[in-house]
């Protein structure tokens, strides 16, 4: 071989060229994927994420309502399949009914109380320097009413028309209330079955409610308590099973 003859490519140059080709192809593929995703977002094709919180709440509320209907249908099916096919031992029917009422698994009706709480009017005359936080109903206000009614002997209860049970939990975020996956705005209405006189006395004894009524007088928070001779309450629509945390495996006690 003379000095002017071209030197053939060595065995180390070919893999290097192959890696360069694959790198360019990968970059082009990623660029194309990003361009396609950006174009879909620009055209509004990606509708999974709503544009604002209100849209998200509406969408999830509708989803919860559909799932609640499914739960109702499944509960009915379970009751049908669980019905005894033959004679069963004698049981205390009154005890069974009391347990079902307490668990919220049956609709009930009867005399009781209706308590309503509402935000203060924004255009009202308020003391100078008062924060906007003092003009709205808070979670502890609703909780105080619920606890007082239970203490006064309430046999069954609803909040915003939904049955309240031992497993019920609600949260207030701003001026909205979250209960069983649904969203509500004030006024918040609590209905309770039981002796109206005993439940009124329990409301009057509650220190938290006495504080709330001071704001009723000062800023105009809404408050009303009414007797009702015939309150109809639906059964609880959610799952009755309790879920709770457990220590991870291997966690020292």
- Are the C-beta atoms of 184 and 248 separated by less than 8 Å? no
pLDDT at 2: 46
pLDDT at 75: 79
- Are the C-beta atoms of 186 and 179 separated by less than 8 Å? no
What's the whole-model pTM score? Answer: 0.60
pLDDT at 4: 47
Q: Which residues pair with 115 in a beta bridge?
A: 190, 225
Q: What is the pLDDT along the chain (253 residues), one digit of tens a residue?
A: 444 444 444 444 445 454 555 565 555 555 565 656 555 545 544 444 445 556 666 677 777 778 777 887 887 878 777 766 666 566 667 777 777 777 777 889 999 999 999 998 877 676 776 777 888 899 999 999 999 999 999 999 999 999 988 777 788 877 788 888 888 989 999 999 999 999 999 999 999 999 999 999 988 899 999 999 999 998 887 666 656 667 777 666 5
Here the tokens at position 166 are 């031992």
pLDDT at 7: 46
Give the separation between CA 176 and CA 215, rounded to whole angstroms: 19
pLDDT at 167: 74
Give the ranges where the chain is alpha helix by DSSP (H). Answer: 13-43, 53-82, 93-103, 139-151, 196-205, 207-219
Phi, psi dihedrals of residue 30, rounded to the nearest 5°:
-65, -40
CA 9, 11, 15 angle in degrees (round to 5)?
100
């Amino acid at each position: 071989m003379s000095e002017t003859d071209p030197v053939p490519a060595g065995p180390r140059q070919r893999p290097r060229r192959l890696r360069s080709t694959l790198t360019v192809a990968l970059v082009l593929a990623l660029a194309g994927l990003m361009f396609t995703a950006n174009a879909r977002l620009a055209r509004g094709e990606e509708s999974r994420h709503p544009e604002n919180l209100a849209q998200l709440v509406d969408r999830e509320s509708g989803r919860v309502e559909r799932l609640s209907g499914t739960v109702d249908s499944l509960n009915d099916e379970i009751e049908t399949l669980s019905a005894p096919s033959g004679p069963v031992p004698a049981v205390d029917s009154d005890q069974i009914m009391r347990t079902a009422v307490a668990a919220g698994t049956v609709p009930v009706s009867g005399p009781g109380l209706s308590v309503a709480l509402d935000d203060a009017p924004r255009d009202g005359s308020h003391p100078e320097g008062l924060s906007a936080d003092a003009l709205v109903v808070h979670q502890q206000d609703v909780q105080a009413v619920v606890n007082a009614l239970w203490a006064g002997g309430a046999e069954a209860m609803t909040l915003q028309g939904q049955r309240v049970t031992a497993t019920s939990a609600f949260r207030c975020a701003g001026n909205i209330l979250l209960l069983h996956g649904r969203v509500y705005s004030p006024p918040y209405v609590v209905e309770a079955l039981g002796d109206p006189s005993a439940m009124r006395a329990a409301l009057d004894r509650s220190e938290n409610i006495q504080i709330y009524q001071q704001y009723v007088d000062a800023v105009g928070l809404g408050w009303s308590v009414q007797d009702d001779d015939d309150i109809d309450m639906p059964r609880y629509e959610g799952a009755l099973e309790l879920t709770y945390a457990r220590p991870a495996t291997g966690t020292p006690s």
